[in-house]
A and B are shown apart, each in its own frame.
Chain A
Amino acid sequence: MSQSTGVKHSIWAYFPLTWHMVKTHFQSEMEYRASFLSKIFGIIVNDVGWLLIWVVFFQRFPAVNGWSIEDSLTLFSLNMFTFSVFAVVGYGLIDLARHVANGGLDYFLALPKNVLWQVATSRSSTESIGDFLFGLVIFFFTQADALIKLPLFLLVAVLGGMIIFNFIVVVFSFALFFGNYQETGDRWFWTLFNFSLYPQNFFAGWLKIVSFVVVPVFFVTALPVRMMQDFQWTDLALMAGFWLVSMLFAVWFFNRGLKRYESGNMINIRV
């Protein structure tokens, strides 16, 4: 087998492995069924609360810069779905800074698969399946020709989820340079999450640059909303291009930081 075939094989091997990890997390969570279902219920109640707040907002202010409640509903369904894709598959990344601070990364370094992948899939926010379902329900209730638009919705949501993944890798990799970074990383994640729920057409000036690069809310939800309303191949190419560039940067940044990582010499038994 040639080397390139070997590389291809190893990359493709991560897909079934990721599926297996997610499935295992769900099976484990289902051991505590009442707790699991109560979390999903809590998520859905919260989502309804968010939706209600924005409905009330748009009743008070019917159009902000031409942005209406219909635009926000599209945004809302995409936001819920996109973030749940990330949270179900890669939620372990949220612990990256903690692993760095307490030497817990040693465990992942000793495993045979890619370190970043190991960390990312070590935990799943299984309750985010509530957001996943809620996003889909809102999508079907608010979009004309929902079935025709569904493939595009899924494509941009998955791409958006992968961009969030890259953003989180970069943000939490700062822990490899600064040490104590868990709380700060958390805050950046929530800033991205919540900014992506705001009407997206009022960003102007330097804030537009921030929304493109620093907190990439433009690529996570603004651009996908635009594509859902008026699809252009150039927009899709732009989004895919940003995903690729952000992924290359995230992997480079993480690996650079990893060289500075100092082992905690911690002996741990994980059961």
Chain B
Amino acid sequence: MFNKASKYWAMFQIGQRNASVYFMDWWSVGLLVAIRVAVLTQLYAATFTSVGLQVVDGFTLSMVIWSVMVANALQLSSGTRQMILELQNEIKSGNVAHTLSKPYSLVTYFILQYFGRFQTKALAAVSLGAVAAAFFAGVPQITVLGIICGIILSSFGFLINAAISMGIGLTAFWVEDISGFRWIYDKFQWVLSGMVIPLAFLPDGLRLLIEYSPFGQLFYSAGRILVDFEAQTFWQYLGTQVFWLLVLLYVVTVIYRKGIKNVSVNGG
């Protein structure tokens, strides 16, 4: 049991160390978050001015900007595209046959390694994004509990994203080129995970539909709880995340088991 845990802990650490090596990548993510924050600040400053209000649907300008900043920073740190691409290459190149002989689960390996990368990158991205958001839009009222709960929700959000990415990547067992699915998922993230418009601005029916879908729980919930902490909302989000994570992991496991039946190993 201990050996198993230490094995997976090592995978997580590999991801963390990999991410910490590339400083250029950190700065690039930070710069992009800062640019996005600057653009969105101008957009929402103009928007708030156009309606002549300081608070819209319970959100001040700084709350909106911090919320979308967190969503953008988490999305940029998630490594979604790389995860899908790496998994596709693993399958298409036939390396998967080699990996299957190793004493660990391919799915767990990918998720934990990318989780390690995500943690390191997200720390840098959110820190730099916070500086930019504070500079351009000011600082909303943030509590310690809000930060802790935000970190928990961002971790579960990453795991949901990783499970969806794995599901897309594993379709490479059957589909020649999965870049199209990756492209579509990328666009879904932008539309539905609060990276441009906080979901709180949507009409109630649509908001609830998206907020409690897996997409709404990827990157939005962490930022939302950070700027406007409510214990009840936190537990609702966490429950939704756990539910979707279990469903998605089950689906990924089924796809994986079906997929590896397609692998034929030729000795020699």
Chain A residues in the interface with B (C-beta under 8 A): 29, 31-32, 35-36, 39, 42-43, 46, 49-50, 52-53, 56-57, 60-65, 87, 98, 123, 125-128, 178, 180, 182-184, 186-188, 190-191, 194-195, 198-199, 202-204, 207, 210, 214-215
Contacts and interface: CB of A to CB of B under 8 A. Distances in A.
- Tell me what chain B mostly uses at the interface: helix, strand, loop, or mixed: helix
B218 to A, nearest CB: 15
A53 B196 contact: yes
A42 B175 CA distance: 15
Q: Which 8 A-B pairs have the closest CB atoms?
A: A39-B180, A127-B180, A42-B184, A184-B28, A202-B46, A49-B191, A46-B187, A65-B46
A64 to B, nearest CB: 5
A125 B179 contact: yes
Contacts of A202: 42-43, 45-46
B79 interface: yes
Contacts, number: 111
Contact of B22 (A65, A180, A188): A180
Interface residues of B, number: 44
A29 B181 CA distance: 13
Interface string B31-51: 010011011001101110011
A61 B191 contact: no
A68 to B, nearest CB: 11
B202 A56 contact: yes
B39 A195 contact: yes
Interface string B151-185: 00000000000000000000000011101110110
9 contacts: A35-B175, A43-B184, A53-B191, A60-B56, A64-B46, A123-B179, A186-B81, A191-B32, A191-B36
Contacts of B25: 180, 183-184
Contact of A46 (B79, B184, B202): B184
B184 A127 contact: yes
Contacts of A39: 180-181, 184
B43 A199 contact: yes
Contacts of B42: 202-204, 207
A187 B184 contact: no
A187 B28 contact: yes
Interface in B34-81: 35-36, 38-39, 42-43, 45-47, 50-51, 56, 76, 79, 81
A191 B35 CA distance: 9
A63 B22 contact: no
Interface of B: 22, 24-25, 28-29, 32, 35-36, 38-39, 42-43, 45-47, 50-51, 56, 76, 79, 81-82, 85, 175-177, 179-181, 183-184, 186-188, 190-192, 195-197, 201-203, 206
Contacts of B43: 64, 198-199, 202
A50 B81 CA distance: 20
A31 B196 CA distance: 37
A214 B85 CA distance: 27
Contacts of A125: 179-180, 183
Contacts of B85: 98
Name, among B176, B195, B196, B201, the residue most crowded by chain A CB atoms within 10 Å (CB to CB). Answer: B196
A60 B207 CA distance: 13
Contacts of B186: 190
B35 to A, nearest CB: 7
Contacts of B50: 61-65
Nearest to B76: A187
Nearest to B27: A184
Nearest to A57: B197
A50 B28 contact: no
Nearest to A202: B46
A125 B39 CA distance: 28
A260 B180 CA distance: 32
